[in-house]
Amino acid sequence: MANTYTIVLVEDDSFLQHLYETKFVNEGFTVRCASDGLKGLALIKEVKPNLALLDVDLPKLDGLGILQALRAEEYFKQLPVIMLTNSSNQQRIDLARSLGVSEYLIKAHFLPSEVVTKVRTLLNIH
């Protein structure tokens, strides 16, 4: 891939973090990871990725808090953000949508390869 795309993955489950990181690296992406919300928000601001993948249930700052903080800054208003979570709570889904989430994916419903496809679609990579 001539143009490398960078993703920040914020996931506190080390198994899932490694699984998704490996999958995206094998697909040609650069991946930076954080295991709590505060580190994740700082990493996104530092790296300025092409896309962020956020869990909702995170230590220190949840994924919705990260999304809200990002949308409050002009630079990150258009950053594609995918919530990748096991939380199917409708209030959380509605809040994420109101904050401008690009996709809200329930982990149990999507294979890692399908998540890669969603990312490629959002980034217009074919």
**pLDDT tens digit string along 25-70?**
999 999 999 999 999 999 999 999 999 999 999 999 999 999 999 9
CATH number at residue 15: 3.40.50.2300
What is the average pLDDT across 80-88?
93
| pLDDT recorded at residue 87 | 87
For a pLDDT cut of 70, what percent of the chain falls above it? 98
Phi-psi region of 100 (alpha: psi -120 to 50; beta: other; left: phi over 0): left
- Looking at the chain, the whole-number percentage of residues with pLDDT higher than 90 is 94
Is 95 within a domain?
A: no
Task: Examine residue 100 and state whether it is found in any structural domain, yes or no.
Answer: no
Give 126's pLDDT tier (boundaries 50, 70, 90): confident
Domain extent, residue 51, equals 6-87+107-119
- What pLDDT, on a 0 to 100 scale, did the predictor assign at position 2? 47
- Residue 3's pLDDT is 67
25 is a domain residue = yes
Q: Whole-model pTM?
A: 0.94
- Say how far apart CA 86 and CA 103 lie, in whole Å: 14
Domain count, the chain: 1
Residue 29 in domain:
yes
Q: Is 69 exposed, middle or buried (0-12, 13-18, 19+ CB in 10 A)?
A: middle
